[in-house]
A and B are shown apart, each in its own frame.
Chain A
Amino acid sequence: MDLVSPGFGLVFWTAITFLILLGILRKFAWKPILGAVSEREESIKSALQSAEDAKKEMQNLQADNERILKEARAERDAMLKEARELKEGIISEAKEQAKSEGDKMIKQAQATIESEKKAAVADIKEQVANLSIDIAEKVIKEELSDKKKQQKLVQDMLGDIKLN
């Protein structure tokens, strides 16, 4: 029975000792130790968090870079395309212009040629007429130098008229 009946003395001393122990350890052990442990945990947590943040930022940066690169590439492509179009436009325009100009020049040239031709023909006609008149004059002069010949000519001419 002694074994299971608590003695007052030990209860008394245990209570006092335990309270003192609790007070001392609380102040000089648990507070600094728990404080240090949680402080370290916080610092680890924040370090991990900042590493994660940095990683995310890095990813963002990379994505940004990629986006910018893509944009640049697209811009370049667009510019190239535009340039090509422009070039083609210019070329075709130039071609057209050249063609029309050429046509115009050809026409002009043709017109000039025509008019030159006409003028030349007219000139030739005149010269031929003059020449023929001269020749005719000379011939006639020659022909008409004697009577026979004059006769013959008249005769021929009359024959010609008939043919006409």
Chain B
Amino acid sequence: MRISTFGAVFLGLLLALPIAGFANYKDDTESDKKFDPNKMIMHHVKDAHEFHVIDFNGKPISISLPIILWTDNGLTSFMSSKFHHDDSGKVVVEKNGEKFVKFHEKIYKLNEGAASIEFDDKHHPVNASKPLNISITRNVLMMWVSVLVLIIIFTSAARVYKKSENNVPTGIAGFIEPLIVFVRDDIAKPMIGEHKYKRYMPYLLTIFFFIWINNVFGLIPILNGANLSGNIAFTLTLAVFTFIITIFSGNKNYWKHIFWMPGVPVPMKIFLMPIELIGIFTKPISLMIRLFANITAGHIIILALMSLIFIFETIAVAPISVLFSLFITVIEIVVTAIQAYIFTILSALYFGMATEEEHH
């Protein structure tokens, strides 16, 4: 009974996906009436300055988000609703004597005297510049929602232990504890080692659950697929954290293995040095690309399958599209956990390599 209820809810969410997708594309293609799957998919996968929920009676319903810019005059901030859902640079917003336009989810600052944005052949703006943009975008908002959910889940789990007399996990803690013990016993301990893993536990647990929950949130269609963990900026930041921690926990043995590999002849040592040096950087880069590519690919597949309905312009394709995207979505649910696990276990592996003691 429980499973079928879950299935029904899940199917309902899945069915909401094409509606939301359709709504988005409609906004952009009203002028040429031709469905462009590439545009629709990219629109979904990439970040946005407003939280578009649904189109109702041809009017987009969306949550307006603050746009924060750092210009020559300092910090400038206004709500994204001022653009009136425009994404083609037509609507100009004036604030503190500066003019801004939004074009393809990028905010440009128009130069003095310019009335509208113009582009050259290479799509570079000729009369506008890009200010430093630290807006609260759709992804940032979803990230904060996920953080809120994480804090609620884990602090309430922690409270369970505080209340119980002999640390018996009940309620939410009963669900959380196996996961935490899994991260400790199957990720941290074997990768870093029995003696040193404790230092890295907070970081490993945090990235594991942070990535996982954002992977899951990215799959919920009603949230319009806020694709945070499939955004390279997000994966880059986490990879950089892993990189920094690895570098700072590297001991003498670790650096010796990079700059002067023990146990091999001198020419080999010299040959290995640049390779190992590059290896320091390729490890976090692979982390960044793996998570980004896996999550983005999943989103693109699901959206592409849904686009088939609109490409063939027939409802007959719908069952196939729905079935296949259901199949992919189920796989993606598994992938959410697997990718979080891989990111965490590889981070732990790098920490373990950095802190490994000499043993000959």
Q: What CA separation (Å) do A32 and B202 show in the bound complex?
A: 11
For the residues of A in contact with B, the DSSP-based class is helix
Residues of B174-207 whose CB lies within 8 A of A: 176-177, 180-181, 184, 201-203, 205-206
Contact A3 B232 (CB under 8 A): yes
Measured CB to CB, the nearest residue on chain A to B176 is A33
Is the CB of A34 closer than 8 A to any CB of chain B? Answer: yes
Is the CB of B114 closer than 8 A to any CB of chain A? Answer: no
Q: Which of B46, B177, B202 has the most CB of A within 10 A?
A: B202
Contact A25 B154 (CB under 8 A): yes
Give the distance to chain A from B234, nearest Cβ to Cβ, in Å: 5
Contact B181 A22 (CB under 8 A): no
Give the distance to chain B from A19, nearest Cβ to Cβ, in Å: 9
Contact B158 A33 (CB under 8 A): yes
Contact A21 B202 (CB under 8 A): no
Of A35-43, A49-57, A101-109, the one touching chain B: A35-43
Chain A residues within 8 Å of B162, by CB:
32
Contact B202 A25 (CB under 8 A): yes
Task: From the candidates B45, B132, B237, name the one contacting A14 in the complex (CB within 8 A).
Answer: B237
Q: Which of A8, A10, A35 has the most CB of B within 10 A?
A: A10
Contact A9 B150 (CB under 8 A): no
Contact B238 A18 (CB under 8 A): yes
Chain A residues within 8 Å of B210, by CB:
18, 21
Is the CB of B144 closer than 8 A to any CB of chain A? Answer: yes
Q: What CA separation (Å) do A2 and B105 show in the bound complex?
A: 10
Task: From the candidates B147, B166, B240, name the one contacting A21 in the complex (CB within 8 A).
Answer: B147
Contact A43 B132 (CB under 8 A): no
Contact B232 A29 (CB under 8 A): no
Chain A residues within 8 Å of B150, by CB:
21, 25
B residues engaging A (CB < 8 A)? 42, 45-47, 68, 104, 132-137, 139-140, 143-144, 147, 150-151, 154-155, 157-158, 161-162, 166-168, 173, 176-177, 180-181, 184, 201-203, 205-206, 210, 231-234, 236-238, 240-241, 292, 296
Can you report 13 residue pairs joining A to B where beta carbons are below 8 Å apart? A9-B137, A9-B233, A10-B234, A21-B210, A24-B151, A25-B154, A26-B202, A28-B155, A30-B206, A36-B167, A37-B181, A39-B167, A43-B166
